[in-house]
């Protein structure tokens, strides 16, 4: 699993030999307090890989949330929008 803000999971898959094994995990900050973990599939990510990561996430006491594959994922996109909006108010 990878945690990236600048590349999509599909972009990372494209340069690997095991595209079906690539998946993203994004832990919210502060990790010790936040329960949500974004799980991001690439276009080639295998269902078994997703299910394994989902299980691991639950076993460590977190809540897995599947999100679409785009730069920054959901939480960072919301955060950056809020920061940009604050700059203009």
Active site residues: 26
Cβ atoms 35, 61 nearer than 8 A: yes
The residue assigned the tokens 């996430």 is 57
Cβ atoms 69, 40 nearer than 8 A: yes
Residue 1: both structure tokens together: 């699993």
- Compute the radius of gyration of the chain from its Cα atoms: 14
């Amino acid at each position: 699993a990878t945690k990236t803000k600048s590349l999509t999971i599909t972009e990372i898959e494209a340069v690997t030999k095991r595209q079906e094994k690539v998946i993203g995990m994004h832990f919210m900050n502060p990790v010790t307090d936040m329960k949500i973990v974004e799980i991001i599939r690439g276009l080639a990510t295998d269902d078994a890989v997703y299910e394994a990561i989902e299980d691991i996430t639950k076993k460590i006491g977190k809540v897995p949330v599947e999100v679409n594959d785009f730069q920054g994922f959901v939480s960072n996109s919301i955060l950056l929008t809020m920061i940009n909006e604050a700059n203009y108010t």
